[in-house]
Amino acid sequence: MAKTKEDKEVLDEKEQKKFNKFQWFVYTGLIPFLFTILVVLIVLSFAGINVFEKAKEVGEKIPFVSNFIKEDETKTTEEWEKSLIELEGEIKDKEAQIEQLQTELDGKDKEVERGKLEIEQLQAQIDELMAIQEENKRAFKDIIKTYETMSAKKAAPIISQMNDQEALKILSNIKADNLAAIMESLQPDKAAKYTELLTNEAEN
C-alpha cells in the first residue's frame, strides 16, 4: 500500500515537471516569439510594407507555389466577379421593389388624403345643413307662437292667402284651442278644405 502511494507521488512529480517544462516553454519561448512577430508586423505596416504582398511575391518566384497562387487568384477573381454581378442584380431588384412599393404607398397616401378631405367636406355640409335645420326649426316655432298669440280673426285671413301646404303646416302645429278659433273665423269652404287636409294628414 505504501509502495503504491510512493509510486503515485513519483508519477505526480514527473507530471508536474512535464507541466513546468511546458509552462516554461510557453512563457519563455512561444509568447515572446508571437509578440516579436506582432511587433515586426506593426513596424513593417507603419513603414508602408505590406507583409502579405511581400510573401505573395516571394511565393510567386517558387515554381510550384507560383502556379498554385496563380490558379487560386484566377479562381478567386472569377468567383468574386460572379458574386459581385449577382449582388448588383439583387440590389437593382430590391431598389425596383422599393420604388414600386414607394409609388404604391404614395398612391395610397394620396387616396387617404383625398378620402379625408371628402369626409371633412361632407361633414362641413352636414354641419351646415343641421345648423340651417335648427335655425329653421327655431324660426318655425317662432312663427307658430306668433299665430298662437295672434287673434283668430287676424290669423284666419292670412292663412287663407297661403298655399295649402304652408297653411296645413301651421294649422297642424298650433294648439287645439287656437286651431278651433281660426277654423271658426275662416270661410266655410276654406275651413272644410283645411279640415279635410288635417284629417288626411292625421290618418297618414
Please report, for the chain, the start and end positions of each structural domain, with discontinuous segments joined by +. 150-203
How much is the pLDDT for 43?
Answer: 72
Cell of residue 201, nine digits = 294628414
Secondary structure (H, E, C), 102-140: HHHHHHHHHHHHHHHHHHHHHHHHHHHHHHHHHHHHHHH
How much is the pLDDT for 57?
Answer: 58
How much is the pLDDT for 158?
Answer: 92
How much is the pLDDT for 80?
Answer: 72
How much is the pLDDT for 3?
Answer: 46
DSSP 62: S
Question: What is d(CA 138, CA 146) in angstroms, rounded to the nearest whole number?
Answer: 12
Angle at 41 between CA 38 and CA 47, to 5 degrees: 140
How much is the pLDDT for 2?
Answer: 42
CA count, 13 A, side-chain hemisphere, 31? 7
How much is the pLDDT for 15?
Answer: 58
In this structure, what are the phi and psi dihedrals at residue 166, rounded to the nearest 5 degrees?
-65, -45
CA count, 13 A, side-chain hemisphere, 16? 6
Ranges of the chain whose pLDDT falls below 70: 1-23, 25-27, 44-45, 48-76, 204
